[in-house]
Every structure is written in structure tokens, then in C-alpha cells.
Structure 1
Amino acid sequence: MALLDLADISFGRGLRTLAEGLSLSVAPGSVVHLTGPNGAGKTTLLEIAAGLRRPWQGQRRCEVPLHWLGHRNALAASLSAAQNLQAWADLQPDAPGSVREALHALGVDRVRHRPTRDLSAGQKRRAALARLLMAKRPLWILDEPFDGLDHAGLADLAALFNDQTARQGAILVTSHQPLPARVRCQVVMPLAVLP
């Protein structure tokens, strides 16, 4: 059984139609990579998949807990990485993981007490991604998670992807660049800009 099903959905932004009759299924153990040019509706589709936006038509079915990580990192600039992650964890009933261990696993433990505004773009992204380790949720929906990451960061995130699919979790992800080759179980779904 799929962790996420979108059936015959249509959606847009404002009055502009971005997709019509689109169906998508995300199976356990898979990585579905949405590709396409700017304006094709990748982020809007992810928001619908995450339950943050309703499609104009069609059905969404998702009955498992999910992680949503948008293009912005959702980190308070005046708080440290550790404070941001702890504040998030305090609001999650299923996030018993250790803040320090999650930040360490993502390579930002040594800067965990610095205000987030003082971190590099890659460090901010890693701190935001550490949420994935705090609660083991079956479905990850990630908008451009590789942005700002260096070579080591790409390798770390690829390893997280493979850990997620190995335990029969799934990932729906957008990225302007191809996913690292070491990411297993990839399915590429291109979106096109409608005329």
C-alpha cells in the first residue's frame, strides 16, 4: 500500500493552472524526485502532498505521519541551532530523539550554540534537516533539501535518504539538480509548465 496517493488532481496558483489530472503514488522504500523548470508547480504539488494546500480537484490520501521541510529552513535567526531544534521537538509528541545527536549526525554539533543568523547557508540547511532524525516518520516531503550543501553535506543527506528507504520509509523530493547517484530507489517524475 502506498504511503501517499494523489489521484487525478488539478491545481494552480492564483488563476494560473499548473497541472490537470495528475496522479502520483509514493510507495514504501522509494524516493520520488519531482523535476521541472521554475514555475512548473513542484512546490505547490509538495504543499498539496503535505496537506498544506488543497487541490482544485482530485483526492489526496495519506494516513501516515510525515515530515515537511520547505525551501525555507523555518529557523528563528536569534536562536541557536540547538534551541531551534529543541523548540521544534517540544511541539512534537513523537520526537524523543536527542537534539545533540541529531545535530552531530548532520555535522553541525560544533556550532549548535551559535545564533542561527551567524551560520552559513549549508549549516542552516543541515540544522533544519536534523529534524528528520528527531522523529522517525514514514514519509518525508522535502523541497530542495540539497540547496546550500557542500559535497560532504550531499553525502550525508544521501545516506539519510538510504536509511529512510531501507526501513521502508519513503521520500517525495524536489531538486533542481539530479539526486546523488548513491541515493537508491529513485523514481523521477518530471513536471512541465502548462501553456
Structure 2
Amino acid sequence: MSAALLRLERVACIRGDRLLFEGLSLTLARGEALWLRGPNGAGKSSLIRLAAGLLHPAAGTVERRERCALIDEAAALDGELALRRALDFWARIDTVDGDAVDRAVAAMALAPLAEVPVAMLSTGQRKRAAMARVIASGAPIWLLDEPANGMDAAAAARLVAAIAQHRARGGALLLASHFALGIPDLTELDMGASA
């Protein structure tokens, strides 16, 4: 248990006046990946937000032993800035160097878009940019909420390759998605069972 990067113990989540889930426990260790699946409204995104510390559980505890990086419906990149400048902004906050950004941009095939304002990117390009931000962060825990939405097949393959590299380096993944995305050795948690 000491190797766990993320642990949720008997967590409950209430949104509005609706109990989404209760008594939920999970542990993520280095190299592990957990797929949260289930219908809309089952609590997948809420669980991701609890793991990130953006929501507080109604009961139970959430323990993160390392930094986490999040993708959700918002890209969290300044729309007025050119893509490279927007990624550099987060690199300074994450205290990573420009090489980390270069590697992330290359991993998601974004170099031709480096000078394009974020607001001008397509939905799929913004998702790739958000993924580049996660990759560059160096965070050991990736919390990905529908990361492939809007991506074409080539971009989704790059996403899967980035996840494989992250896990090979000892990173952990919590994935909320309607699809497993072809990620190998993925443990599943059916959120629909408690909805």
C-alpha cells in the first residue's frame, strides 16, 4: 500500500441533492491504469474531480502522494496566446523546462500549430494541446476525463502511446471515458453499477 500514488477510501459524492456514489475505494500504484466507465451521470467526471482535489468528498478520504495533471472539458489554456506560449506558461508553473514542452508538442504532433492562438484551434487540436500540457507537466498521476473527445484516429493513437510511455516510467492513470481507447492492461471500474 505504501507504493500507492492515489488512494480513495470509502468516498461518497453528492452533486446537488443527488448521491452519485458512496463507499467507493480505489488505489492506484505506479504503472497502473484504471478505466472509469458507465453512462452519463454515473459520476465518472465527479470522481476524477475528487481525485484532483477540485471537489471534496461527502464522506471518506482522498490521498494523493504525488502531483497530478488533469484533462477535463476545459483545456485550461489561454485562448488569446499562441499555443507554444500557453504551454510555456504552464511549464513555468509546473517548474519544467522548455525541453519538456518540446517533447510534449512532438508527442502530440503540434509543432505546426505552435504560433496559432489557442482560440483558433479545432476541438481535436485543443484536446491534443491539453494532452501536451499534461505530458509536459511531469506529474506522476494523470487524471483524464474523456481525453479523446474530438480526436481523430491518428491523434487518439498518439494519446495511447503517450499513456503507455507515462506508465512505463512509473506514472499512474485514472481515465474516465465511454471507450477503453485500446489501452492495454486497463483495470475497469463500472460506475454504472452504483448509479
Shorter-chain TM band: over 0.9
2:50 maps to which of 24, 32, 48:
48
Counterpart in 2 of 1:134?
Answer: 136
Residue identity matched to 1:185: D
Q: Deviations over 1:59-115 (max 9, x none)?
A: 11111111122222112222111111011112222x224333321221111011011
Residue identity matched to 2:97: P
3-state DSSP class of the match of 1:29? coil
Give the stretch that moved more between structures: 99-108 or 31-40.
99-108
TM-score relative to the length of structure 2: 0.92
TM-score relative to the length of structure 1: 0.92
Kept in 1: contact 2:81–2:118 (CA 8 A): yes
2:121 maps to which of 119, 128, 149:
119
Kept in 2: contact 1:82–1:100 (CA 8 A): no
Identity of aligned residues (%): 36
- CA distance in 2 between counterparts of 1:178 and 1:35 reads 8
3-state DSSP class of the match of 1:130? helix
Counterpart in 1 of 2:97?
Answer: 96
**1:49-64 maps to which residues of 2 (within 5 A)?**
49-64=51-66
Q: Deviations over 1:153-195 (max 9, x none)?
A: 1111111111111112110011112322xx2221011102756
Q: Deviations over 1:10-51 (max 9, x none)?
A: 111011100011111112111101001111111111111111
Q: Which has the higher helix share?
A: 2
- CA distance in 1 between counterparts of 2:151 and 2:80 reads 22
Gaps of 5+ in 1: none
